[in-house]
Structures are given as C-alpha cells and as structure tokens.
Copies of this chain bind each other. A is one copy, B any other.
Amino acid sequence: MSRTVRFELLKVDPATGARLGRLHTPHGTVETPAFMPVGTAGTVKAMLPDEVESTGAEVILGNTFHLYLRPGHKVIEKLGGLHQFAQWKKTILTDSGGFQVFSLKELRKIKEEGVEFQSPYGGSKHLLSPELSIEVQEALGADIAMAFDECPPHDESRAYVEKSMQRTTRWLDRCVAARQRPERTSLFGILQGGRFEDLRRAHAEVLIERDLDGYAVGGVAVGEEREMMMDVTALSAPLLPANKPRYLMGVGYPRDLVDAVARGIDMFDCVIPTRNARNGRLFLRDGSYFNIKGSENREHPGPIEEGCACTTCVRFSRAYVRHLFVSNELLAYRLLTMHNLFVYQAHMRRIRAAIANETMAELVREFASG
C-alpha cells in the first residue's frame, strides 16, 4: 500500500532506544527526531517562512482552531491551501483543534457529536466535530492531520479517562470515515489512557488496528509534573509500532526533548522557543536560558551566544537586542525568535548526531546534570 507519508527508521540507539529516522511527506523529507515550530495562525510569529527554514526547520505546525476561525479554512483552500497562503514550502502538520477548544473551559461543552464552543473572536457559536476537524485540515492541505481526540486533565479519575478514551476511539473512526483526500493529507492517531498502563495498552491496540500513518502520545504536557510526563512517555512509546513515527505533542524544554527521544519519541512541537523569545527569554545550547532584559546586557558587545550561527548572533550585540526589547521595538521579537528557533534546531541536530554516534546516553546525562 502506498502511503502519503512514509517513515524510514534508520537506526535505534542500543543504549537508550532513541530512534534516528526520516519522514517522507508530499512536501519533502523531515529528519527525525524533529522539532516543529508552531505557526498558530499561518505564521511562526514575527518570522518570514524562509527565516524559519534557515534555522533548519523542515516541518511546522498549523492550528486548525485558529485558522478555522480566522481567516476560515475555505478562504485558505480557495487561495491554494496553507502552503501557498503562508508561502511555507516544506511539510505542514496541523493539530485537530481539540486542544484549543478544550482549553476554552467555560466557553465549551463536550458532547458525543463533538465540542460546542463560542469563538473568542466575537462570540459566534460553533461545533467542532471529528468530521469538521478533518474537513478543515484537508482544506488547509496539511501533509499530516491529527485525529480529533479528547484530552482529559492529567489528574482525571480512571473511570472518566476510560470513558473519554472510548469516545476518542469513536471519534477516530469518524475521522477515518470523513477523509476525502487521503492521498494528500495523512492521518495520525492519538494515544490516550492517562496514567493507567492497562488503558494505554488497550488503546494502543485499537490504534494499531486502524493502521494509521503515525501516532501521537496524547494526554501529556497538560500541566502534570515533568516526571509523570516522562513516565507516561516511557510507558506509551513502546506500545506503538516501530515502523511509524511517534509524536509527543506540546513538548518541551531542551532537556525534555533529550529525555523523550531517549524514550523513543521522533517528533515534537512546542511554543516554548517562540513564546519565550517574545518575552525576552533566550536559550543557550546547553539548555539554559537567561532574560535579555538583564542590565548586565546593557553594554554587552557580544552576541547572545558566542559561536552561534543564527543571523541575530552573527550580526547584532546583546546590547542592541536588549535596547530593542526594552524599547518595545518590533524588530526585537524577530531577532529573539530567530535565535531561539535556531538553538532548538541545532539541539535537534545534536540529538540526531548523538543517536548516529551512539552517544545519546551521554547527552541524556549532560542535560540531566545541567
């Protein structure tokens, strides 16, 4: 069977189980483990698409919820899809919109049919269903669509988690049935089951039966402790088929990426590098960070990080970047975002090299003690 996306597992690190691979999509190849910058509303905030690409990113994430509401998926479809609209030529993965509607709390109501919600832009009422989620993601022309699932809070009761998981399965089957363009947009399923091993195991079997193009570990990075996140990841990843990519949604800090890769994860997305940049927080290669606002940067002639090859560090001093940031200059957000995205992609390159060189266990130790 020919697949819209195809995963090539190149190597498994004998010491940790970390995986080196390649994901082939209609818009190119993604070296894995991969980190996807978040392009919420059809733009990685403050950045031109070629700037994002210059950091080494090969795939970005688009948000179904935001693009459905503004400008509307039909507008984007009419204009040739999200790749054309946003001028991003490489791979796009879209989320299902589920996470955003669940986050609306008082403004939403979960039903078997889907999730009723009020738009935060103007209050109009909508029902996001598995069918609509797929319709939107296919209209956007995503290379990878995510199944519409319910993501319960990490401390939910077993009874609720089980009930929710069963609904997620029914929603998955509706997603599968709703697909109109499987040759262009692949579908990843999402593993739920909370912190309960037997539920995770049962749900994994259900997902595997559907033979999807890839799988996400769901129900993590939703406010739980880091240790629980890693435990659930360690428990979940081996339940998923080795020949399909594994995606940990909404993760994380540089150390989280190292640890999750060592637990068998291949793909990540997170707003941490971009959102932190806009708040002045800058990452360094060793995973540490600092805020550019600090007065020690006021006359600092050097770059954000010595030796960093990002365009910000190559050209501008900390003093200049700090000046722009404390002056609320628009250019600050670009320059800071550029650095953080570059550091994140450099981090992924380092992780991939460590798997290739069988030094992943050392990298895990380095970040654990950092």
- A interface residue numbers (CB < 8 A to B): 41-43, 45-48, 70-71, 75, 78-80, 85-87, 298-299, 301, 315-317, 319-320, 322-324, 326-327, 329-331, 333-334
Contact of A334 among B75, B316, B329, B330 (CB under 8 A): B330
Complex alpha-carbon distance, A331 and B146, angstroms:
26
CA distance A310 to B326 in the complex (A): 30
Partner of A326, one of B47, B70, B78, B298: B70
Select from chain B the residue with minimum beta-carbon distance to A335. B48
Contacts of A85 in B (CB 8 A): 317, 319-320, 323
Q: Is the CB of B330 within 8 A of A41?
A: no
Q: A79: which of B46, B70, B71, B301 is its contact (CB, 8 Å)? A: B301
Are A319 and B45 neighbours in the complex by a CB distance under 8 Å?
Answer: no
Bound complex: CA of A324 vs CA of B42, how far in Å?
Answer: 8
- A298 near B75 with CB under 8 A, answer yes
Whether B79 contacts A315 by the Cβ 8 Å rule is no
**Cβ–Cβ contact A41 & B298, under 8 A:** no
The answer to whether B334 and A299 have CB atoms under 8 Å apart is no
User: Is A323 in contact with B45, judged by CB distance below 8 angstroms?
Assistant: no
Are B331 and A75 interface neighbours, CB within 8 A?
no
Q: How far is the CA of A317 from the CA of B323 in the complex (A)?
A: 33
Copies of this chain: 2
- Chain B residue at smallest Cβ distance from A47: B331
Asked if residues B299 and A79 are in contact (CB atoms below 8 Å), the reply is yes
Q: Are B71 and A329 in contact (CB under 8 A)?
A: no
Q: Which residues of the other chain, B, contact A334 by a CB distance below 8 angstroms?
A: 46, 48, 330, 334
The docked-state distance in angstroms from the alpha carbon of A333 to that of B46 is: 9
Inter-subunit contact A48/B331 (CB<8 Å):
yes
Can you list the 10 inter-chain pairs with the closest CB atoms, starting with the nearest? A46-B330, A71-B323, A43-B331, A41-B327, A43-B329, A87-B315, A330-B333, A85-B320, A75-B299, A79-B319
On whether the beta carbons of A320 and B42 are closer than 8 Å, the reply is yes
B316 x A87 contact (CB < 8 A): yes
> Smallest distance from the beta carbon of A297 to chain B beta carbons, Å?
10
> Given the complex, which residues of B lie within 8 Å of A43, measured CB to CB?
324, 329, 331
Q: A45-B331, A78-B299, A79-B319 are in contact. List 18 more A-B contacts (CB 8 A).
A: A41-B329, A42-B323, A42-B324, A43-B324, A45-B329, A46-B330, A46-B331, A46-B334, A47-B331, A48-B331, A70-B323, A70-B326, A75-B319, A79-B299, A79-B320, A85-B320, A85-B323, A330-B330
A70's contact among B46, B70, B80, B327, by CB below 8 Å, is which? B327
| Across-interface contacts of A322 in B (CB, < 8 A) | 71
Residue among A41, A315, A323 with the highest chain B CB neighbour number at 10 A: A323
- What is the CA–CA distance of A70 and B80 in the complex, to the nearest angstrom? 45
Q: Which of A87, A319, A331 has the most CB of B within 10 A?
A: A331
User: Inside 8 A of A75's CB, which chain B residues have their CB?
Assistant: 298-299, 319, 323
Q: Shortest CB–CB separation between residue A83 and chain B, in angstroms? A: 12
Chain B's nearest CB lies how many Å from the CB of A125? 21
| B-side contacts of A71, CB under 8 Å | 298, 319, 322-323
